[in-house]
């Protein structure tokens, strides 16, 4: 393997001269041409990682995800991977498996790895999370949740809930069932639900039942088998598309027909909603674009540039086959 010493010896220059050349330092034109030819002939590739350590720049970004089996997380990661490669960074990805202690450990681990910044898919943000992040002294960017003093990129979850609520009211529905998730996840568990409730509750004659599930399709399916025979709702809203897919399966297994017996919608815009029958009405989120923007924002933070503390991503109502006018049901 060709080393920097080999290059220096063949070029007849000091090792420090080759080092300056590799780091775009001051080198004479003749010497630069000579080293160019030697590197082209030998196929020498500089050790960027070692060079970055010496320069106190690792070109590494840490990413913390809450779980592995998340369609939305995977789409955001695609955007993160694309932009980090484009900007010359490497990724270190850690998984907490929805465990707070593992999240604290991962924060410390990434800081010890000398990553230049961290993108954290925020699930539940406690005062301990905020304190631990601030103590690292490493630029952090939260995705999906916002916290005082930490830069964030969030979805417009409240507006998404309001879109579904307004749409359902326009279809003539007045009796709703909202299948939510725990409030520890504020964006999904609180903001989406509140936007929906604020859109439907002021309407005369509207009623809303609320049931809590979790993000698991299996759990949502089992709960749906129990609540579907009991509900009088004509429109069921699910906090995620995964839950909506599970409710759809339970409905079919129980002999219900959608949207003839009730309308159904979710949130996320997951690919799965287009590959079930009927296709599911949803609010589509720009997950990949969020990943792209997260990296660009973090790199600006690493460069100590002024960056807005909170950035918001919009969303779009996608009307599919699972919803219908109430007077046509």
Using one digit for the tens of pLDDT, what is the confidence trace for 279-329? 999 999 999 999 999 999 999 999 999 999 999 999 999 999 999 999 754
Q: How far apart are CA 124 and CA 215, in angstroms?
A: 14
- The encoded tokens of residue 96 equal 């907490």
CATH superfamily for 157-285+317-328 is Response regulator (3.40.50.2300)
Nearest to residue 155, comparing CAs of 55, 244, 76?
76
- Give pLDDT, residue 48: 52
236, 262 contact by CB (below 8 A):
yes
pTM more than 0.85: no
- CATH architecture observed for domain 4-46: Orthogonal Bundle (1.10)
- Do residues 77 and 105 lie in contact, with contact meaning Cβ atoms separated by under 8 Å? no
Strands (E), the chain: 60-65, 90-95, 117-121, 140-143, 151-155, 175-180, 207-212, 235-238, 263-265, 282-284, 310-313, 316-318
- What is the CATH T-level fold of the domain 60-155+287-313, as seen in this structure? Rossmann fold (3.40.50)
Any idea where the domains of the chain sit in the sequence?
4-46, 60-155+287-313, 157-285+317-328
- Please check whether the two domains, 60-155+287-313 and 157-285+317-328, share a CATH topology: yes
Handedness of CA 152, 199, 165, 316 (dihedral sign): negative
**270 touches 242 (CB < 8 A):** yes
Both tokens assigned to 43 = 């196929």
Reported confidence tier of residue 268, pLDDT bands at 50, 70, 90: very high
Asked if 4 and 16 count as a contact pair (C-beta separation under 8 A), the reply is no
Q: Max alpha carbon distance in the chain (Å)?
A: 89
Question: pLDDT (tens digit, 9 = 90+) per residue, 65-120?
Answer: 998 888 899 999 999 999 999 999 999 999 998 888 899 999 988 988 889 999 99
């Amino acid at each position: 393997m060709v080393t920097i010493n080999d290059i220096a010896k063949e070029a007849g220059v000091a090792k420090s001269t080759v080092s300056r050349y590799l780091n775009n330092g001051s080198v004479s034109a003749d010497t630069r041409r000579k080293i160019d030819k030697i590197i082209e002939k030998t196929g020498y590739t500089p050790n960027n990682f070692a060079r970055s350590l010496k320069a106190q720049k690792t070109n590494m970004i840490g990413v913390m995800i809450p779980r592995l089996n998340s369609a939305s997380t995977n789409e955001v990661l695609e955007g993160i991977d694309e932009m980090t490669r484009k900007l010359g960074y490497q990724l270190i990805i850690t998984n907490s498996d929805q465990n707070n202690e593992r999240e604290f450990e991962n924060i410390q681990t990434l800081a010890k790895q000398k990553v230049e910044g961290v993108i954290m898919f925020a699930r539940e943000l406690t005062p301990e999370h905020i304190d631990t992040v601030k103590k690292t002294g490493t630029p952090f960017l939260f995705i999906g949740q916002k916290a005082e003093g930490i830069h964030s990129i969030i979805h417009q979850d409240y507006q998404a809930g309001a879109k579904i609520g307004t749409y359902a009211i326009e279809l003539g529905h007045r009796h709703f069932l909202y299948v939510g998730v725990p409030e520890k996840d504020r964006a999904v568990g609180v903001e989406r639900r509140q936007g929906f409730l604020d859109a439907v509750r002021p309407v005369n004659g509207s009623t809303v039942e609320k049931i809590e599930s979790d993000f698991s399709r299996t759990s949502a399916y089992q709960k749906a088998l129990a609540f579907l025979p009991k509900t009088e709702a004509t429109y069921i809203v699910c906090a995620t598309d995964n839950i909506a897919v599970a409710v759809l399966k339970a409905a079919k297994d129980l002999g219900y027909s959608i949207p003839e017996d009730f309308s159904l919608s979710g949130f996320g815009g997951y690919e799965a909603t287009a590959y079930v029958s009927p296709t599911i009405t949803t609010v589509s989120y720009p997950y990949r674009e969020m990943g792209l923007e997260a990296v660009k924002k973090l790199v600006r933070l690493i460069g100590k540039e002024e960056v807005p503390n909170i950035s918001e991503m919009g969303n779009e109502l996608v009307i599919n086959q699972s919803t219908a006018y109430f007077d046509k049901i």
